[in-house]
Amino acid sequence: MAMLNSLGFILGTTLMYATPLLFTSLGGVMSENSGVVNIGLEGMMTFGAFAAATVGYFSGNPWLGFLAGGLASGFLGFLHALACVTFAANQVVSGIAINFLGPGLALFLSRKFFDGATMTYNLPIEMKMPKYFNNMLPEGTFVRQVLNQDISVFMAFTLVLLIWFLLYRTKLGLRIRAVGEHPKAADTLGVNVSRIRYLCVILSGVFAGFGGASMSLAVASNFFQTLISGQGFIALAAMIFGKWKPHGAMVACLIFGCAQAMTIFIGGTGLRVPQEFLSMAPYILTLVILMGFVGRAVAPASDGIPYIKDES
Amino acid sequence: MGKFIKRLFSGTIGVTIFSIVIAFIMGGAILLLAGYNPVQVYMVMIEGVFGKPKNMAWSVIKATPLIITGLSVAFAFRTGLFNIGAEGQFIVGSTVAALFGYYLHLPPLIHIPLVFVGGAFAGGCWGSIAGYLKARFGIHEVISTIMLNWIALYGHNYVVGMPGFARRTNISCDIQDSACITLFKNWKFSEVGRTWFGAHPILRDIFKTPLNSGFLVAVLLVILVWYILNRTTLGYRLRAVGFNKDAAEFGGINVKKSIVLSMFIAGMLGGAAGALQVMGVARNISTLAAMEGYGFDGIAIALIGNNSAFGCLFAGLLFGALKFGGARIQSPPVRAPMEIINIMIGTIVFFIAIPRLIRMIIRWREKRKGDGDA
Amino acid sequence: MADVDFTHTTVEMRGIVKKFGSLVANDHIDLTVHKGEVHALLGENGAGKTTLMNVLYGLYQPNSGEIFIKGDKVEVTNPNIAISRGIGMVHQHFMLIPPFTVTQNIILGKETSGPFGVLDIQKAAEEVKAISEQYDLYVDPDQKIEDISVGMQQRVEILKALYRNADILILDEPTAVLTPQEIREFITIIRNLTFQGKTVILITHKLREIKQAADYCTIIRRGKRIDTVEVEKTTEQELASMMVGRSVSFYVKKEARIPGEAILQVKDLVVRDNRNLKAVDGLSLEVRKGEILGLAGVDGNGQKELVEALTGLRRVESGGIFVHERDVTNRDPRDIIDSKVCTIPEDRQKRGLVSDFTVEENIILENFDRKPFSSRGVLNFQAIRDYAGKLIDTFQISPPDGTVRAGTLSGGNQQKVIIAREVSNDPDLLIASQPTRGLDVGAIEYVHSSLVAQRDKDKAVLLVSLELDEIMDLSDRIAVIYEGKIVGIVNAVDADENTLGLMMAGGGQENG
Amino acid sequence: MIRKTGVLLLAVMLLAPFAGPAFAKDMKAAMVTDVGGINDQSFNQSAWAGMERVRDELGIEVVYMESNQEADYAPNLETLYDQENDLIWGIGFMMGDKVREAAEINPEQKYACIDMFYQDPPKNLVGVNFKEQECAFLVGYIAGKMSKVNKVGFVGGMDFDVIHRFHYGFMAGVKTANPECEVLVQYAGAFDDVTKGKSIANQMYQKGADIVFHAAGFTGTGVIEAAKENNRYAIGVDMDQNFLAPDNVITSAVKRVDNGIFNVTRDLKEGKFAGGGNVVYGLAEGGVDIAPTSDKHVPKAILDEVALLKKDVISGKVKVPANKTEYEEVFK
């Protein structure tokens, strides 16, 4: 029973940790499959977390907040697309810019709306993302321990399915991947490379924003300066780890979340492991897994290369 | 002369200057929209940087580690690697410098270089881990350096708390005076020093800051990096690998070794920045709750400096000034959010990313001017 | 002759001008193509043929000029418009996506899909199969492009156009990668297509093909249309001088020589490719002092892997490589260069040059850490500049300035930089892999004479090329590679295209 | 060289008259926050509340500067020095050393630092400390009394002495109220990791604990989130955190940083600046307490017992342990 309880806790916590990463990672999957490197996920996630918490607070509706988080980051995604697609920018540089702009704007606006504070006001529980399954699952059972999650968790995993389906089973997905692999080939067949890249990069912002929103509206109940601190980069790593595939990213996020959950679990047992070593474990684990099991990851062939029509 | 200026502005430097100007305009617009007087804000910033000699000293102090982390990122970029890990290398460098600085008891002439080299070497080793992982396992350096940053952070926190090294909660013991590079560190607190400085208030003001020889080291490193990259066979080899590793391999260059070596050097620079910060400013290390951003600022600096060594020097000074001057805008009379600085930095980098836009504008202007002349 | 319908012009382009910055790629070009004909566009590399066709296909917008398709004036602002007007284009560098299947590549942009854009790949595959049967272009719809042969890939490209109901097919340098037999087959396919009412525009610089396949030929030189001629009424020599603007000799002058002892010996070599298959499978050969050994073969039969193994870039699984009877198997590239083996790599951009380096810097790529170019780890710029200047003079590299970025040079001059670098190392063995790919006639002549000069200096030369003409013109002996093995070695004087072609397709006698 | 020095000296002499301090008119006080920022729902915010009281009640002009990283402490202190404040506060022990350095360099300027106990401070510097263990003791007592399952939890931010005071004070309180009650303890290793705080608390609740006390900054807000979502109880820290979850935060171990700030600044105005030493605020001085909103959830009977206990602590009859050694001496 105790074993099952522990397992329930670890799985449940894994899901909680993985969710914001997963949304953001899927954002990365979208953008990079269309051939645009998005290192600005961190900035987008931060801005999304802020916008979600703010709109959530003022509207009292978590769904509006969640959407606003996506839209706000979608705006940053638009900027990134503008630079990378229209102006053929160096995509890494533009991403770095987003990483300064996102948090900068978030904190600046936060001070404007929240009385000089770099954090938003706390949301009461009824203004947070709901837990629909809370009451359906019987109290104290294993299933409940695992699945007693915010709705955002289920949304993230549904999104994995949707994006997998989109990329590998639909017309649009075929075109997205074609544009990421060989934009010129797609162009010669009348596929509008710019439009598809715009769409994907903006969507990548939207998903990163959802990732941020699932932090500020579900895991926590407000936005503050260090809420995201590095998760966007972890999500980026997870996407590479997952070989640029939605299901791969999901596995990577789960592994990462599980490492975090294990950290907490071990910290709660009597084992005298220094706190710092527990905290660094997930990162070491990720490196070890990359060394041993994954091998060389292959990005979409044209990932990171601007497509310039007239200079072939 | 006119031709020279024209060439300057259509080149990379022109793009950079243009981006900085746009950033100030954008920053101003945002401040205006938010209800602040941008002119006043900028005046406070400028006054904050240039108003007093000691403020300039502060800007230089702030700039010192940033110049070097910028160099670290730029060096890696020039050799085809993206070093997001300058942050971690900085942390490792500062940790080892603090340990060497505290536990070793040596005369300053030996101690100072030893601590510096120790920190730099540790940073180098940290960096070369990422290089090795890339060369041996093909792990992208972006992932590995992100992971290594966090590992460095927690390792650092562990060291801070080690019994015997922790002076009090969350803060380690100070390094020995013999490892300190702050100018007149003890003398300025002594009776004689105070009396002398009392008579020379401006110098007193300047040396009140933890002004240290770190900036000189930074300038030397800038020259060294420039020299290595452009004048030595080592630089030639690393750049060849950076530009085109297939051709380099074809030409008989050992690509894997070069990747490790180049991450080692980039890491050494990151570590050196950390060591100098400990030796000159902080004198101890303390528990980090989150990344401090030296490495991430370094990325922006490398980009603004166009990945050239001297570019990093100027971009670093710009950053130092923005950071020190920018912090002043939060106090009266303007009370503006200092995050405007990050927005401005982001804007600079953003426009640097799109030189095409700026070139288009320049071309368009020239064309218009040409039409006007005709 | 096909049924050319002179009453209908299918494509008419008038006064097309296309500029890239200051470069005028197309300078008021006119082109008229009639229904049912094979119309060749002849010109050197960079003459502007492909640009003109990209304009017709909507990939580029012309600065001025008009396009009429089937009598209607059309603004072709993007490929979709061209496609809807029945134009299909097969590019020289195939526009195929390697990890996609044949079907996915063919339907991209015109997908068969159900509600919500869900792909119906099954139905699409059937459609692909149907068309491939209709035109006798067999492909396996479910295979990935990266797993099929180049000839097969070309069929996929043609099917892509046919799938879009193209009746005007633009084929850009379609035969560059084919064996003589495949070329013959290909010409039959083209003929077949015209019989079925299609019009074909053939971009090429190969005169023989024009003679074999085309009805009309428009010659373009430096962006300008020189003339349009009826192929039957002209000679190869005439076409050539119109293309180059002067009379050219196809014949490479070369004295007979008696080769000396073997410099390079390869014994039972086995090398695996990127997919871990045996690309070189028990290959043996010898290159002797004072001879050019030409290695003929269809692309993808292990040439690339062989050269990579010889230069130390790829691991040898078994067998041995000996230079001057010294074992250099699995040595690193440095060692091999030091044993006086130099290489002109097949891919200038990828292997040959660091395009962001200056010409000077590229010239010392293999010697930068030696005196006089550096001492104690510090580069000596004066020595580098002097040396580079000398080579630039000797090899007539243009522009004659060592400080320009190598990437800004023309293809021919880039190749000259590589040749200058390799030849001036004074190698005993020179490996030249596709040394003339993508070069114009002048540059090709230059490269050829450089290779012959090496031979005449009593060096050994291994020439790997996909162009059979080149191999036959230059080589003293010709070895044919098929599926990683040498299937035959013949003396050049005894060689004829037919037997070589047969051997290249795997039909040759055993190693003699 | 000589000429250069000469020019420099000339410049110094010319500029010297302008660099001296101007005459202060009204009194001014300022504070530098640590990296948490001004509205951290914790002690920076509490400190600023104290400053605002100083402004409202004493008519002293007040300002603050926020720090983004450790390297900001010194320049921020310097900027405030330039603005001629009468008293400059450093908030948090992290900047204790920097405040002391500033005080030594600028002997005419008065400084104070929260949570910092100085050895031999100069005359112009005062360290202001709190007996966190005393308020933690009281909330521990409440937890011990209110736990229905004899199991409560403590989540610490980072492993060091201020947090140890909370930790062992709390343990002592719990054991005093109910020796049978088990205390689950876990440190998060961070003050800013909400997810971690939430997971740790989740685990504690899952293991059966019904009340969790945190001393963990933002990490602790995660603890309160977990309480809300699991519908259990949590105990807040530093300020009255009931507003974060009115139904779940039963009480808070309040550290009256605001009172500390107010008192020291008022003393300065009245000419009684306690420079050259430290002041320690405990229950007796009103420096720590339990939250005023405690009566919403805690039964009157228990609050009455707490009131008695408070008297005993103040009178010294009950000695509250502040670290592990002291704790083990009492509860073995």
B327-368 pLDDT, tens digit per residue, is: 888 877 778 888 888 899 999 999 888 887 777 776 776 666
Q: What is the pLDDT of residue D96?
A: 87
Please give the structure tokens belonging to residue C269.
């070599």
- Flag whether pLDDT at C376 surpasses 70: yes
Residues A259/A285, Cβ–Cβ less than 8 Å: yes
Q: Above pLDDT 90, what percent of chain C?
A: 39
Confidence of residue A163 (pLDDT cuts 50, 70, 90): very high
Residues of D in contact with A214 (CB under 8 A): none
With an 8 Å Cβ cutoff, are B137 and A291 in contact?
yes
Q: What angle do CA B100, B106, B111 make, to 5 degrees?
A: 55
Query: What length is written for chain A?
Result: 312
A126-140, C44-58, C410-424: segment of lowest average pLDDT: A126-140
Phi, psi of A243 (to 5 degrees): 55, 40
pLDDT band at B4 (very low <50, low <70, confident <90, very high): low
H-run or E-run covering C272: strand C262-272
Q: Which residue of D has its CA nearest to A15?
A: D199
| Beta-carbon separation of C355 and B248 below 8 A | no
Contact between chains at B244 and C379 (C-beta distance less than 8 A):
no
CATH number at residue A242: 1.10.3470
How would you class B329 by CB atoms within 10 Å of its CB: exposed for 0-12, middle for 13-18, buried for 19 or more?
buried
Strands annotated E in D115-210: 125-130, 151-156, 182-187
The reply to whether D92 and D196 lie within a common domain is no
Does C20 reach chain A within 8 Å, measured CB to CB? yes
Q: Do B154 and A280 touch (CB under 8 A)?
A: yes
Interchain CB contact of C15 with A (< 8 Å)? no
Regarding the domain delimited by C5-244, which CATH topology (the fold level of the hierarchy) does it fall under?
A: Rossmann fold (3.40.50)
Residues of chain D with pLDDT under 70: 1-25, 332
Q: Indicate whether D287 belongs to any domain.
A: no
**Under 8 Å between Cβ of A93 and A79:** no
User: Residue B333: is the preceding peptide bond cis (ω within 30°)?
Assistant: yes
D288 part of a folded domain:
no
Query: How far is residue C91's CA from residue C171's CA, in Å, rounded to a whole number?
Result: 6
B157 interface with A at CB cutoff 8 Å: yes
Residue A239, domain member (yes or no): yes
User: A53-57, B49-53, B205-209, C39-43 — which is least confidently predicted?
Assistant: B205-209
Place of tokens 């205390």: D183
Least confident stretch, A122-126, C319-323, C432-436, D48-52: A122-126
How many B-C residue pairs are in contact by the CB < 8 A criterion?
A: 65
> Where residue B9 falls among pLDDT bands split at 50, 70, 90?
low
**Long-range contacts of residues C405-408, Cβ cutoff 8 Å, at least 24 apart:** C405/C355, C405/C356, C405/C357, C405/C358, C405/C359, C406/C353, C406/C354, C406/C355, C406/C356, C406/C357, C406/C358, C406/C359, C406/C361, C406/C362, C407/C353, C407/C355, C407/C356
Kindly state whether D243 is in contact with chain A, defined as any CB-CB distance less than 8 angstroms. Answer: yes
Whether residue B330 and residue D159 make contact (CB cut-off 8 A), yes or no, is no
For A167, the token pair is 């990329």
**A267 touching D, CB under 8 A?**
yes
Alpha-carbon torsion (A229, A230, A236, A238), positive or negative:
negative
Question: Strand runs (DSSP E) across chain B, as ranges?
Answer: 166-168, 171-172
| Residues D69 and D141 placed together within one structural domain of the fold | no
One domain, residues D147 and D177: yes
Contact C95 A188 (CB under 8 A): yes
Q: Is ipTM strictly over 0.95?
A: no
Kindly indicate the confidence band of residue C249, based on its pLDDT and cuts at 50, 70 and 90. low
Q: Give the mean pLDDT of chain B.
A: 87
Q: Scanning the structure block, which residue is given the tokens 């000596």?
A: C380
* D180 in contact with chain B, both atoms CB, cutoff 8 A: no
The domains spanning C5-244 and C250-340+427-512 adopt the same CATH topology: yes
D227 and D306, same domain (yes or no): yes
Using a CB–CB cutoff of 8 Å, tell me whether A14 touches chain D: no
pLDDT at C248 over 70: no
Q: What percent of chain A stands above pLDDT 90?
A: 54
Is the pLDDT at C370 greater than 70, yes or no?
yes
* Confidence bin at A146 (pLDDT 50/70/90): confident
* 3-class secondary structure, B286: strand
Do C293 and C494 meet the contact criterion of CB atoms below 8 Å apart?
Answer: no
B247 touches chain C (CB under 8 A): yes
Q: How far is B23 from chain C (nearest CA, A)?
A: 30
Residue C3 above 60 pLDDT? no
Q: Across residues C338-349, what is the average pLDDT?
A: 88
Q: Which of A222, A229, A231 to mutate to test the interface with D (most CBs of D within 10 A)?
A: A222
Pairing type for strands D28-32 and D87-90 reads parallel
Rounded Cα distance, B278 and C391, in Å: 53
Query: CB distance from C89 to chain A under 8 Å?
Result: yes
Phi/psi of residue C28, nearest 5 degrees: 50, 65
Whether B234 has its CB under 8 Å from any CB of chain C: the answer is: yes
Q: Do chains C and B touch (3 or more CB pairs under 8 A)?
A: yes
Quote the pLDDT of residue D193: 85
**Would you state the pLDDT for residue B186?**
73
Query: Chains meeting B at 3+ CB pairs closer than 8 A?
Result: A, C, D
Check if C484 contacts B (Cβ < 8 Å). no
Cβ-Cβ contacts under 8 Å, D202 against chain A: 9, 12-13
Measure C51 CA to nearest chain A CA, in Å.
10
Report the residue of chain D nearest B200, measured CA to CA.
D12
Calculate how close chain D gets to B169, using CA atoms only, in Å: 5
- A41 Cβ contact list (under 8 Å, min separation 6): A24, A27, A28, A95, A204, A208, A232, A233, A235, A236
What H or E segment, with its residue span, contains residue C200? strand C199-204
Measured between beta carbons, which residues in chain A are less than 8 angstroms from residue C117? Answer: 170-172
Question: Is the per-residue pLDDT at B372 higher than 50?
Answer: no
- Are C287 and C429 in contact by the 8 Å Cβ rule? The answer is yes
Q: Which of D189, D202, D245 sits opposite A13 (nearest CB)?
A: D202
When CB atoms are compared, the residue of B154, B289, B292 closest to D191 is: B289
Q: Where are the domains of chain C?
A: 5-244, 250-340+427-512
Least confident segment among A118-127, A157-166, B185-194, B311-320: B185-194
Q: Which of D67-85 are b and which e, b meaning 16 or more Cβ less than 10 Å from the residue's Cβ? A: bbebbbbbbbbbbbbbeeb
Q: Is pLDDT larger for residue C266 or for residue B15?
A: C266
In which band, very low, low, confident or very high, does the pLDDT at B13 lie, cut at 50, 70 and 90? confident
Give the integer Cα–Cα distance in Å for A267 and A273. 8
Domain region containing A77: 2-293
Residue numbers in A near B337 (CB within 8 A): 107-108, 111-112, 116
- In angstroms, the CA C430 to CA C358 distance is 24
B189–chain D Cβ distance below 8 A for any pair? yes
Number of domains in chain D: 2
Nearest to D286, CA basis, from D258, D250, D308, D265: D258
- Tell me whether residue D117 is exposed, middle or buried, using C-beta atoms within 10 angstroms of its C-beta: 0 to 12, 13 to 18, 19 or more: middle
The domain in which residue D227 lies consists of: 132-254+299-330
Mutate to test the interface with C, among A33, A179, A189, A199 (most CBs of C within 10 A): A189
Question: How high is the pLDDT of residue A199?
Answer: 97
C334 pLDDT exceeds 60? yes
Q: What is the DSSP letter of C277?
A: S
pLDDT of residue D19: 39
State how far the Cα of A6 lies from the Cα of A277, in Å rounded to an integer.
21
Question: Are there at least 3 beta-carbon pairs closer than 8 Å between D and A?
Answer: yes
- Nearest Cα neighbor of C440 from C253, C148, C240 is C240
Q: Which residues of A touch D204 (CB under 8 A)?
A: 268
Neighbours of chain A (3+ CB pairs under 8 A): B, C, D
User: What pTM, to 2 d.p., does this model score?
Assistant: 0.87
Average pLDDT, integer, range C133-157: 86
- The answer to the question of residue D81 being in a domain is yes
CB neighbour burial string for B187-204, b if at least 16 within 10 angstroms, e if fewer: ebeeeebbeebeebbbbb
Encode pLDDT of C169-201 as tens digits: 999 888 776 777 778 888 888 888 888 889 999
Judgement on whether residues D242 and D263 belong to the same structural domain of the protein: no
CB contact under 8 A, D71 and B281: yes
Burial class (CB in 10 A: 0-12, 13-18, 19+), B40: middle
Asked if A261 has any chain D CB less than 8 Å from its own CB, the reply is yes
Among the listed residues B163, B91, B134, the one whose alpha carbon sits nearest the alpha carbon of residue A280: B91
Using a CB-CB cut-off of 8 Å, the residues of chain D touching B195 are: none
Mean pLDDT of B312-326: 91
Closest residue to B139, CB basis, from A92, A226, A291? A291
Chain C contact partners (≥3 CB pairs within 8 A) = A, B
Rounded Cα distance between A291 and B5, Å, is 51
User: Could you tell me the pLDDT band of residue B369, with boundaries at 50, 70 and 90?
Assistant: low
Whether residues D92 and D238 share a domain: the answer is no
pLDDT at C250 over 80: no
Write down the CATH number for the domain with range C250-340+427-512: 3.40.50.300
Which range, A46-50, B212-216, B297-301, has the best average confidence (pLDDT)?
A46-50
* C175 Cβ contact partners less than 8 Å away, ≥ 6 residues apart: C182, C183, C186, C204, C206, C209
Interface-testing mutation among C359, C365, C374, with chain B (most B C-beta atoms within 10 A) = C365
The C-alpha of D141 sits at a distance from chain A's nearest C-alpha, in angstroms, of: 23
Q: Which of A277, A209, A282 is nearest to A23 (CA)?
A: A209
What is the nearest CA distance from A300 to chain C, expressed in angstroms?
Answer: 10
Residue at D319 is within a domain: yes
Residue A181: list chain C partners with CB under 8 A. 97-100
Residue D297 at interface with chain A, using a CB cutoff of 8 Å: no
> Would you place residue A295 in the very low, low, confident or very high pLDDT band (cuts 50, 70, 90)?
low
pLDDT at B371: 52
CATH number at residue D245: 3.40.50.2300
D235-to-B32, C66, C429, D46, D294 alpha-carbon distances in Å: 43, 80, 82, 17, 10
Residues D210 and D191 in one domain: yes
Task: Evaluate if residue C2 carries a pLDDT over 60.
Answer: no
Helices (H), C463-496: 468-474
In whole angstroms, give the CA distance from residue B311 to residue C299: 47
D contacts of B171 (beta carbons < 8 Å): 94, 97
* Residue D181, min C-alpha distance to chain A (Å): 17
D238 and D197 in one domain?
yes
At B143, give phi and psi (nearest 5°). -65, -50
So what's the pLDDT on residue D252? 93
Q: Determine contact: B172 vs chain A, CB below 8 A.
A: no
Number of structural domains, chain A? 1
* Phi and psi, residue C382, nearest 5°: -60, -45
Lowest-confidence pick of A136-150, C146-160, C286-300: A136-150
D13 interfacial to chain B (CB closer than 8 Å)? no
A5 closest CA partner among A144, A134, A138, A133: A144
Is the domain of D193 the same as that of D320? Answer: yes
